[in-house]
Amino acid sequence: MDPEIQKLYTNLPRFGMRHQQVILLFMLLTIAVGMRFHMSVAIVAMTDKTSSPNPNVPVYDWDNTNIILSSFFWGYITLQLFAAEWGRKYGSKPFLTVAMAINATVELLIPLVADKLGSYGVMGCRALQGMCQGFLYPSVSNLLGRWTHITERSKLGSIVLSGAPFGTILAMPLVGYISSTWSGWPLSFYLYGSLGYLWVILFIFFGYSSPAQCKNISENERRFIESSSNIKKEKMVIPVKSILTSLPFWALFFSQVGQIWGYNTLMTEIPNYMNKVMGFDMKSNGLLSATPYAACFLMSYVFGNTSDYLINKNYISRTTARKLFNGISGFGAGSSLIILGFLPNTMKSLSVVMLVCAVGIQSAATSGYQINHIDLSPNFSGLLQSICNSCGSMLSIAAPVTVQLIVKDETDKAEWRIVFIIAGLMYIVPSITYSIFAAGVRQKWDGADDPVTAHRKSVEARAKKVSVWSIMST
């Protein structure tokens, strides 16, 4: 670390404004992902007359549950590119606030819409929620690029991104429990809608688009953060051709698309698999479905801190770190899923272990592709995120539909095996591409040198000045 930056870092408060933004973004993903995926548990209760002891809780005879689960992604893919570009130009705060407010409102209305308009009304609500949540990850990438120093990027990025598995940890057992009580499944929607409004209020008062817009940040912390962000304040033309001909970008793209397919297959189908194949009841279903994500949440901190430690100690380069941890994620999750597909139904405990491994180990990706957008392009990190995420989400529309086409008998483990093999290969194959072509340094088309390169050039320039001065003095 540069001596001047080291001095700034030494004088920073233990809890600064960058940590406050990280906590707000962690809360955002926790609540939003809870809204996004608790439908996979709630839909079981919405179509199961035995889920609640209260006979007045509505139960519906829907045979298109997998289509309902995929409807979220119909809207999710529509606005991500706009979210990234608007956030880059005008700041992410206003768009993220409005999107979450609409998302929370729709969440509160779903029980009423289900009763009045049926499954098609619920599909419309979920598509609108997907449209709003399309602002999430491009905005998070934009904000992380502006609020994190390169030496803390994996650690702070892992904290933010761990909000996704943490949201699942909370949602699955909580929704499963609520659905089995007298209040029934509608209460879960009212709960998450209220939490969404709470986050909006907190973000209005305590969230900022960048350190420059934050009045409460110390001068030392602002200079520390901005010393490596290299975000250009002037208008920049998007280097479309350079991005589309960049091998590191395509390595990132295929890895993200593949892992999104595998992740969303697990998220939407684990509760159904646990219920239909392994025979767990509603309460156990929610708890056991969340267990793998508890491992994912905890391990993300291990991988994030380990990655930054290895990089900052110069044991490995940032590029090597991204490839290493992405490989651990892809190969570990993919192989665990394939093994799970071949385990007999009688080996329930080992099946749960494989699920825990499949989901838990993919948290290594928080130090791999998930933070790589900012490495390649701090200025256009949100744009890269939106391109990769929206394309991956297009495939996610097909994931539940593919399950419905393959799995004709939901109690047949052989049919589920095909689903797990496909998801496993979607993890493994792109990881191979990533290990060959990925990069962890800022690309020339972003408009500036990577911070490490910039620091080296600065040191060389100072040394040259000293040398010239020495010659002149003699």
Contact criterion met (CB below 8 Å) for 256 and 274: no
The predicted pLDDT at position 200 comes to 97
pTM recorded for the entire structure: 0.79
pLDDT at 6: 61
Q: Cα–Cα distance between 105 and 218 in angstroms, integer?
A: 36
End-to-end CA distance of the chain: 33
Tell me the two tokens of residue 324: 């290493």
pLDDT reported for residue 284:
58
Residues 6 or more apart whose Cβ sits within 8 Å of residue 197: 101, 104
Query: Tokens in use for 146?
Result: 């502006």
Give one DSSP letter per residue of 397-419, joined into a string: HHHHHHHHHH-SSTT-HHHHHHH
Residues in the chain: 474
- Please give the pLDDT value at position 173: 81
Structure-block tokens of residue 204: 């209005």
Which residue matches tokens 């385990």? Answer: 343
Dihedral sign from CA coordinates of 84, 86, 91, 92: negative
In contact, 98 and 204? CB cutoff 8 Å: no
Give, for all 474 residues of the chain, the pLDDT tens digit. 556 656 666 667 778 899 999 999 999 999 999 998 888 888 888 888 887 788 888 889 888 887 888 788 888 888 898 888 898 888 899 999 999 999 999 999 999 999 999 999 999 999 999 999 999 999 999 899 889 888 888 889 889 998 988 998 888 788 888 988 888 899 999 999 999 999 999 999 999 999 989 988 888 888 888 877 666 655 678 899 999 999 999 999 999 999 988 887 776 677 677 777 777 665 556 566 677 878 888 898 899 989 989 998 889 999 999 999 999 999 999 999 899 888 887 787 888 888 888 888 988 998 999 889 989 998 898 899 999 988 887 876 777 677 878 888 877 888 888 988 998 999 999 999 999 999 999 999 987 544 445 545 544 544 454 444 444 444
Please report the pLDDT score of residue 451 as a whole number. Answer: 47
Report the distance separating Cα 337 and Cα 304, nearest Å. Answer: 23
Domains delineated in the chain? 3-473 (1.20.1250.20)
Q: ∠ CA 37-41-44 to the nearest 5 degrees?
A: 140
Residue type, 64: N
CB of 84 within 8 A of CB of 385? yes
- The dihedral of CA 123, 34, 427, 145: what is its sign? positive
Nearest by Cα to 303 from 241, 384, 359, 364 = 364
- Biggest alpha carbon–alpha carbon distance for the chain: 96
| Residue 220 contacts residue 11 (beta carbons within 8 Å) | yes
Q: In whole angstroms, how far apart are CA 223 and each of 22, 156, 227, 267?
A: 18, 18, 6, 40
At 14, is the secondary structure helix, strand, or coil? coil
Q: What is the DSSP letter of 237?
A: -
Q: How confident is the model at residue 31, as a pLDDT?
A: 96
Distance between CA 230 and CA 48 in Å, rounded? 54
Structural contact between residues 66 and 403, judged by C-beta atoms closer than 8 angstroms? yes
What is the C-alpha to C-alpha distance for residues 247 and 253, in angstroms, rounded to an integer? 10
Question: What is the sign of the dihedral through the CA atoms of 337, 338, 341 and 344?
Answer: negative
DSSP classification of residue 134: T
What's the pLDDT at 225? 84
